[in-house]
Amino acid sequence: MERRNRTIVSEFFLLGLPIEPEQQNLFYALFLVMYLTTVLGNLIIIILIRLDSHLHTPMYLFLSNLSFSDLCFSSVTIPKLLQNMQSQVPSIPYGGCLTQMYFFLLFADLESFLLVAMAYDRYVAICFPLHYTTIMSPQLCLSLMALSWGLTTFISLLHTLLMARLSFCADNVIPHFFCDMSALLKLACSDIQINEMVIFILGGLAILINLKFMISFSKFSLLVWTLEESYHLFTSLLNLVACVML
C-alpha cells in the first residue's frame, strides 16, 4: 500500500457549510440568534432551578445539569462556526481541533447519560411512588451525576489521546464546520485500527446500556393499566419532555 506524504500538521481547514456567498450574512444572523436563544434558554432554566427551593428535587437536579451540558455543547462548535463564516481562512489550530473534539464528545455523551438518569428517576417516581424519596436519595443522585461525568470524561479523553498519537498527511481539509472524529480519522496516515476498535467497543456498550433501559421501560409501561395511573404517567412524562425540549 502506497504511503501518502507525512507532514507535521499545525492546523486544519474547516470547509464549513455549503452556503452561497450572497446568503452568508443571512445564515450568520440566523445561527447567531439560534445560539443566543439556546444559551439564554438554558441559563434561565439553571437560574430558576437554583433560586426556587421547590425545584431542588432529583429530576430538576438532572435537568439543570442537562441544560448546562446543552449550553456547553452548543458553545463548543457554534462560536467557531460564526468566526469562520466571517473569516477568509476558516482554519483551526491542531491543538484547538483536538480540544474541540474532546469537549464535543464530552458534552454529547454527557447529555445521553443524563437523559438515562432522568428516565430512571421518572421510572422510580411512577412505579415506586411511596419509596421514591428513599430510592432517589441525595447520595444516589450525586453518584449518578459523578458516574455520568466520570464516564464521559474518560471516554472523551481516551478518544482524544488516541487521536493525538496519530500522524496526519498533507491533506488537512475537514469537510465539516467542526473537528469531527470520523473526518480526522480519514485524514490520518498512521494505523487507526486501535481507534476503530475503541469506538466499536465503547459504542456497543452505550447501545447495550440504552437498550437495557428501553426494555425496562417497556416492561414497566405494561404495568400501568388504570386510567388514574395512566394520567399520572402522562402528566409526569409530559412535564419532563417539555423541560428537555426547552
Per-residue confidence (pLDDT) for residue 72, from 0 to 100:
95
Q: What angle do CA 66, 70, 71 make, to 5 degrees?
A: 115
- Beta bridge partners of residue 11, listed in sequence order: 93
Q: What is d(CA 42, CA 190) in angstroms, rounded to the nearest whole number? A: 41
Whole-model pTM above 0.75?
A: yes
Q: What is d(CA 32, CA 35) in angstroms, rounded to the nearest whole number? A: 5
pLDDT in tens, the chain (246 residues): 344 445 567 788 888 788 887 888 899 999 999 999 999 999 999 999 999 888 888 888 999 999 999 999 999 999 999 988 888 778 889 899 999 999 999 999 998 888 888 888 888 887 788 888 898 898 999 999 999 999 999 999 999 999 998 888 767 888 888 898 988 988 888 888 999 999 989 888 877 776 666 666 555 555 554 444 444 554 555 555 455 455
Query: H-helix or E-strand containing 183?
Result: helix 181-187
For residue 42, give every residue at least 6 positions away whose Cβ sits within 8 Å of its Cβ, in sequence order, or none. Answer: 67, 68, 70, 71
